[in-house]
Structure 1
Amino acid sequence: MLTLLAPDGRSRAGELCIRALDAAEHRALLASRPDASFLQFPSWAGVKEGWASESVGWHGASGVPEGAALVLYRQFPGTRKYFAYIPEGPVADWASHDIDRWMRPLMAHLRASGAFAVRIGPSPAYRVWDAARLKAATGPGRRIGDVLATAVDPLGTAVSERLRARGWRRCGEDGDGDAQPRYVFQVPLTGRTPGDLWSGLNQEWRRNVRRARRAGVEVVTGGASDLPEFHRLLRITEERDGFRLGRSLAYYQRQFTVLNAEQPGRMRLRLAVHEGEVLAAHTMIVTPGRVWYQTGASADHRREVRPSNALQWQMLLDSQALGAQVYDMRGVPSTLDPDDRSHGLLRWKLGTGGRLVETLGEWEIPLGGAANNALYRAFHAYLARR
Structure 2
Amino acid sequence: MSALLVTAASVGRPAPLRLGPVTPEAYRAFLATRGGADGPSFLQVPAWARVKEGWCHQLVGWGPEGGQLTGVALVLLRPFPGTRRYFAYLPEGPVADWADPDLDGWLGPLLGHLRASGAFAVRIGPGPAHRRWDAATVKAATGPGRRLSDVLADDVDPLGTAVAERLRARGWRRCGGDSEDGADAQPRHVFQVPLAGRSADDLWTGLNQEWRRNVRKARKAGVEVTVGSAADLPEFYRLLRITEERDGFRLGRSLAYYERQYAVLNAEEPGRMKLYLARHGGEVLAAHTMVTVGGRVWYQTGASADHRREVRPSNALQWRMLLDAHALGAAVYDLRGVPSTLDPDDRAHGLLRWKLGTGGRVVETLGEWETPMRGTTNQALYRAFQAYLARR
Q: Do both proteins adopt the same fold according to a TM-score greater than 0.5, normalized to the shorter chain?
A: yes
Specify the alignment match of 2:235 in structure 1. Answer: 229
CA displacement 1:113-150 (0-9 Å, x = unmatched): 00000000000000000000100111111111111101
- Kept in 1, the 8 Å contact 2:240–2:304? The answer is yes
Give 1:156's aligned amino acid: G
Normalised by the length of structure 1, the TM-score is: 0.97
1:48 corresponds, among 38, 47, 52, to: 52
Which residue is 1:28 aligned to? 29
Aligned to 2:86: 82
- TM-fit CA distance, 1:11: 4.6
Match of 1:57 in 2: 61
Would the aligned equivalents of 2:7 and 2:19 in 1 still touch at CA under 8 Å? no
TM superposition shift of 1:8: 3.0
Match of 2:5 in 1: 8
Contact 1:58/1:65 (8 A) holds in 2: yes
Secondary structure of the residue aligned to 2:299 is strand
Deviation at 1:19, TM superposition (A): 1.5
Count of residue correspondences = 382
Q: Whole-Å Cα distance in 1 between the matches of residues 4 and 253 of structure 2?
A: 35
Tell me how far apart the structure 1 counterparts of residues 303 and 273 of structure 2 sit (CA, whole Å).
16
Matched, 1:360 2:369: no
CA RMSD of aligned residues (A): 1.1
Q: Is the 8 A contact 1:69 1:91 kept in 2?
A: yes
Q: How far apart are 1:361 and its partner, in Å? A: 0.1
Unaligned residue ranges in structure 2 (runs of 5+): none
Question: Match for 2:83: what amino acid?
Answer: T
Report what 1:216 is aligned to: 222
Q: Can you list the C-alpha shifts for 1:26-56, whole angstroms capped at 9, x where unaligned?
A: 1111111121000000000000001000110
Out of 332, 355, 365, the position equivalent to 1:326 is: 332
User: What is the alpha-carbon distance in structure 1 between the residues aligned to residue 64 and residue 271 of structure 2?
Assistant: 34
Give the 5 Å matches for 1:266-281.
Answer: 266-281=272-287
The match for 1:125 is 129
Could you tell me which of 173, 194, 204 is aligned with 1:198?
204
Which residue number corresponds to residue 379 of structure 1?
Answer: 385
Cα distance between partner residues in 2 of 1:88 and 1:9:
23
Give the Cα separation in 1 of the matches to 2:329 and 2:6: 41
Instruction: Tell me, in whole angstroms, the C-alpha distance in 2 between the residues paired with 1:16 and 1:381.
Output: 37
* 2:98 matches 1:97: no
**Greater than 4 Å deviation, 4+ residue runs:** none
Q: CA contact under 8 A between 1:6 and 1:109: conserved in structure 2? A: no
2-structure distance, mates of 1:167, 1:15: 25
Q: CA deviation at 1:25?
A: 0.6
Deviation for aligned residue 1:10: 4.9
SS in 2 for 1:292: strand
Deviation per residue, 1:192-244 (Å, 9 max, x gap): 00000000000000000000000000100100000000000000011111111
Partner of 1:143: 147
Counterparts of 1:54 and 1:137 in 2: how far apart (Å)? 44
Q: Percent same amino acid among aligned pairs?
A: 72
Secondary structure of the residue aligned to 1:220 is strand
**Structure 1 residue matching 2:70: 3-state secondary structure:** strand
2:264 aligned with 1:263: no
Answering whether residue 344 of structure 2 is matched by residue 347 of structure 1, we say no
Q: Which amino acid in the other structure matches residue 157 of structure 2?
A: D
Q: Contact between 1:291 and 1:324, CA under 8 Å: does it hold in 2?
A: yes
In structure 2, how many angstroms separate the alpha carbons of the residues matched to 1:100 and 1:8? 16
How far, CA to CA, are the matches of 2:6 and 2:186 in structure 1? 34
Q: CA deviation at 1:63?
A: 3.0
Q: In the superposition, relative to structure 1, how do residues 202 and 312 fare at CA in structure 2: closer, same or farther (>3 Å)?
A: same
Give the aligned partner of residue 253 of structure 1: 259
Q: Give the letter aligned to residue 34 of structure 2.
A: R
State TM-score, norm by structure 2: 0.96
Q: 1:16 to 1:230 in 2, by over 3 A?
A: same
- Code of the residue aligned with 2:41 in structure 1: it is S
- Say whether the 8 Å CA contact 1:175–1:361 is kept in structure 2: no
Counterpart CA distance in 2 for 1:148 and 1:162 is 24
Distance 1:304 1:65 in 2: 52
